[in-house]
Amino acid sequence: MYEENQVENSTLSSIEERLNSRKDKGNDAKKKHPILEEILSWIWSIAVASVIMAILYFFVGRPFTVSGQSMYPTLHNGDHMIMSKLGGINRFDVVVLQAPDEDKEYIKRVIGMPGDTLEVKNGILYINGKAVDQPFINTNNDKKTVFIDDFTLKELTGEDKVPEGKYFVMGDNRGVSKDSRMIGFIDKASIEGKAVFTIWPFGRIGGQKDYSYLYSE
């Protein structure tokens, strides 16, 4: 029995020595490559940060810079904004969209929702037969052009109503805006997000006003 215990103790001691030896070798290896470990740690951190940024960019939102005067006075040329991809598209939202006729982004206001009838008569906007106030448009442009003349949806598009899955958009600066009056309806898939907050210049920092109260079913 005594001899058996000695053998067991000897075996356990041998195993413990081997484990300690491997642990020491591992520690020695770590001590020999601190720079490599630091580099790998940085690479991992950058990779994780890149994945998070990609998710935010494609699914949450991103910065956007206004180009041109088509949304004046609501937005000015050069305004830096945050575009949100969260939530649905509502009437009077300011949206960033992929232009259907050229490789660039437009920023416009949603006027017509799927199923709406639209017309402008004597300068007044009618949605589904109801007169709607437009406090956001530029009223300082006194030039009477084709871009601010009266129209009906039928005259412009050949459709009586805005088709399903599409929107009718216009710029707030109607006299200079290239929008659905010229380029037609905008597919839902072409809308990249909503312009929700101006971050620069400093004097114009703030969120977009909610104009949903202007129209009710």
Give the whole-angstrom CA distance, residue 177 versus residue 107: 10
Helix axes 34-55, 2-32, angle to 10 degrees: 70
14 noted as active-site residue = no
Q: What count of other Cβ atoms lies within 10 Å of the Cβ of residue 150?
A: 11
Percentages helix, strand, coil for the chain, rounded to the nearest 5?
35, 25, 40
**108 carries an active-site annotation:** yes
Active-site residue, selected from the candidate residues 70, 161, 180, 194 = 70
Choice among 23, 41, 50, 108 that is catalytic: 108
The set of residues, in sequence order, having a beta carbon less than 8 Å from that of 118 and lying 6+ positions away, is: 111, 112, 125, 126, 127, 152, 153, 162, 168
Catalytic site positions = 70, 108
